[in-house]
């Protein structure tokens, strides 16, 4: 009876006229799971369905007008109904018993095997969680792969074939999301048994402890025993094991080990104040199989021995005014000790015996690991003594107690009651140098004069480098620079060249034979020797060459310089050009060379003689 959906049909007839538009719905396909209300078209469930059996149904609904009477028209529609999933199926293991195995050499975290519980539901309704119920050894754990919904069994701790060879665990699969409406159908979980066999392997030696802590007093003689490490072969107790210390190349080797019994000894005395702990790595190797190696950590603590006397924690700067009164405290001191003390440090202060009878200063122990330095008299004179050196004895409470002598330097300052630290340090510095104030001022003045002189030299050199090498010529060049701002006519300037040469491709220059052209040039040239630039022959020659340049398609369409072989009328010798030498098959006459003068006498002799021989 659950409503699934509603279908609606429309009829174009007039609903107010008879039964033409009165519709009646009926189910053609979809029984026995669905039904339809005849008047409303509401589709309802008619029977229970199982998505795991069939998840989609095609329901065909028919609508008839005239209330389904004979002669009525009808139409059909198909409704696709998909069943959504609910968690109504519990998980089921494929097997009731699983067998797996793991090597005793397997490290922690090794995957041993997988199990899978099937669930007919889909999506979140098939999500699983796996648990291990019974595992007294606590050697394994299981996780869930959220993508495949598999249970992955992992090794939680190392197993030993010699100790236990077989494990049995119980694994339960539970649905992650449970629908309370279906709990009455039973628990949504399933259980299986997993038996795990441990495989034997050749194992490395095993130490009795992974970490050893040993103690030794500082200052122990070389070769003193620190402790013993022990390892055995788990496969064979009688198999010998060899021990070794892994030394760092950058650290000093302070320990050695007996490779047979694992005894660790010192190679030299240890000092706790340098290092109170030493970390060693010891290896054990099977003698029969050197590839089987195991390691253990050894921590050596160096115990304290009272071998360091107390001392000042810093260098004290102590000052006293010349006008100081007796009993005035000028310094408070303390002490430090590098040794440890189980009961806490206790220090005792006093003046050394050789200075105890001095009346200049006294030491008062405050009984709290500090002491005060007091003046023993009134008035001090720098001219008599600038520094006082007080030997202070400091004793600790160790066993045996140690005492040290520390020197406290007291500087006398030129002051009344309050000490000017800077002035006192300056005076002490000058006193140590043996210089007076006037001498120091003179030295500083000399240094200042030298620096000023050096700065002047550097400034002059820099100015010389910046000065140009030829200032007069640079000024002359600058005066002769002339600027022009003339611009061309651009694309509208058509007078610079014949634009028609760019607009036609039919203008072709008739080519003349080379011999004919050469003869014409030679003839025009000969004639130009006797004419001036205003001659008609000259103008004719220029016009012909200009026409050739204008009609030549290979010449660029811009102004160009044309050079021709006219020398003018000033040369008596004429031209030496041989442009027309091959224009005639007849021999040329070189008799005119004799008229060129004495400079061409030898050339005239060569050609004239050749001509004579030829004749």
Homologous superfamily (CATH) of 317-416 is Cadherins (2.60.40.60)
Top-level class of domain 92-199: mainly beta
Query: CA 370 → CA 341, 361, 367, distances in Å?
Result: 17, 17, 7
CATH fold of 3-82: Immunoglobulin-like (2.60.40)
The reported pLDDT for the residue numbered 399 is 81
What pLDDT, in 10s, does the model give residues 104-117? 889 999 999 999 99
Could you say which architecture CATH assigns to the domain 206-303?
Answer: Sandwich (2.60)
What pLDDT, in 10s, does the model give residues 415-432? 755 666 666 766 666 665
Query: If residue 157 lies in a helix (H) or strand (E), which one and from where to where?
Result: none
Tokens read off for 439: 């001498």
Query: CA 23 → CA 26, 36, 64, 360, 507, distances in Å?
Result: 10, 13, 5, 131, 93
End-to-end CA distance of the chain: 144
Instruction: Write down the domain spans for the chain.
Output: 3-82, 92-199, 206-303, 317-416
The reported pLDDT for the residue numbered 518 is 47
Low-confidence stretches of the chain (pLDDT < 70) are 134-136, 249-251, 342, 355-357, 416-423, 425-440, 466-535, 555-588, 608-615
Number of C-beta neighbours around residue 164 at 10 A = 12
Say how many residues make up the chain: 615
- Name the E strands within 309-423: 318-321, 329-334, 348-351, 361-365, 370-375, 387-395, 403-413
Taking the C-alpha atoms of residue 438 and residue 56, their distance in angstroms, rounded to an integer, is 114
Give me the phi and psi of 250, to 5 degrees please. Answer: -100, -5
For residue 91, give the nearest of 50, 121, 53, 51 by alpha carbon: 121
Non-local (6+) Cβ contacts of 566 within 8 A are 525, 528, 538, 541
317-416 shares the fold of 92-199? yes
The reported pLDDT for the residue numbered 176 is 86
Per the CB < 8 A criterion, the answer to whether 284 and 294 are in contact is yes
């Amino acid at each position: 009876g659950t409503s699934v959906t509603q279908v609606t049909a429309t009829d174009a007839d007039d609903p107010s006229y008879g039964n033409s538009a009165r519709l009646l719905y009926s189910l053609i396909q979809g029984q026995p799971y669905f039904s339809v209300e005849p008047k409303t078209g509401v589709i309802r469930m008619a029977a229970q369905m199982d998505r795991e059996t069939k998840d989609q149904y095609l329901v065909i609904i028919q609508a008839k007008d005239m209330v389904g009477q004979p002669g009525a028209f009808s139409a059909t529609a198909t409704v696709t109904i998909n069943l959504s999933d609910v968690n109504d199926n519990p998980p089921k293991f494929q097997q009731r018993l699983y067998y797996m195995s793991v090597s005793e050499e397997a490290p922690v975290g090794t995957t041993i095997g997988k199990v899978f519980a099937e669930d007919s539901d889909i999506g979140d309704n098939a999500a699983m969680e796996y648990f291990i119920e019974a595992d007294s050894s606590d050697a394994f754990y299981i996780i869930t792969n959220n993508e495949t919904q598999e249970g992955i069994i992992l090794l939680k701790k190392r197993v030993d074939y010699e100790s236990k060879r077989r494990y049995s665990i119980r694994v339960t699969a539970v649905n992650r999301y449970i629908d309370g409406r279906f709990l009455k159908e039973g628990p949504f979980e399933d259980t299986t048994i997993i038996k795990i066999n441990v495989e034997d392997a050749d194992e490395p030696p095993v130490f009795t402890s992974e970490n050893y802590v040993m103690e030794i007093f500082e200052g122990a003689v070389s070769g003193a025993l620190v402790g013993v490490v022990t390892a055995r072969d788990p496969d064979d107790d009688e198999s010998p094991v060899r021990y070794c210390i892994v030394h760092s190349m950058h650290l000093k080797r302070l320990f050695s080990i007996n490779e047979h019994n694992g005894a660790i000894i010192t190679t030299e005395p240890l000092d706790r104040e340098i290092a109170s702990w030493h970390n060693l790595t010891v290896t054990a190797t099977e003698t029969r199989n050197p590839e089987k190696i195991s390691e253990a950590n050894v921590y050596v603590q160096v115990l304290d021995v009272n071998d360091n006397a107390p001392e000042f924690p810093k260098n004290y700067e102590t000052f006293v005014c010349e006008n100081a009164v007796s009993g005035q405290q000028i310094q408070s001191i303390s002490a430090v000790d590098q040794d440890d003390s189980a009961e806490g440090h206790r220090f005792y202060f006093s003046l050394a015996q050789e200075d105890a009878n001095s009346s200049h200063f006294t030491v008062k122990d405050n009984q709290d690991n500090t002491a005060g330095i007091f003046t023993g008299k009134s008035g001090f004179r720098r001219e008599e003594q600038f520094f006082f050196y007080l030997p202070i004895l400091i004793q600790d409470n160790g066993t045996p107690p140690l005492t040290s002598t520390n020197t406290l330097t007291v500087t006398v300052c030129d002051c009344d009651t309050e000490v000017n630290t800077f002035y006192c340090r300056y005076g002490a510095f000058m006193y140590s140098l043996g210089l007076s104030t006037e001498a120091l001022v003179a030295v500083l003045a000399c240094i200042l004069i030298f620096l000023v002189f050096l700065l002047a030299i550097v400034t002059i050199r820099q100015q010389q480098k910046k000065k140009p090498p030829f200032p007069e010529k640079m000024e002359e060049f600058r005066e002769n620079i002339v600027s022009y701002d003339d611009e061309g006519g651009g694309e509208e300037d058509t007078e610079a060249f014949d634009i028609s040469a760019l607009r036609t491709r039919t203008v072709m220059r008739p080519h003349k034979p080379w011999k004919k052209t050469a003869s014409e040039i030679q003839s025009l040239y000969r004639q130009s020797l006797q004419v001036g630039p205003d001659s008609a022959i000259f103008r004719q020659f220029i016009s012909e060459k200009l026409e050739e340049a204008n009609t030549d398609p290979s010449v660029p369409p811009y102004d160009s310089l044309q050079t021709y072989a006219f020398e003018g009328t000033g040369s008596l010798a004429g031209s030496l050009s041989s442009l027309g030498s091959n224009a005639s098959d007849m021999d040329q006459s070189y008799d005119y060379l004799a008229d060129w003068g004495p400079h061409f006498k030898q050339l005239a002799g060569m050609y004239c003689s050749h001509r004579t021989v030829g004749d």
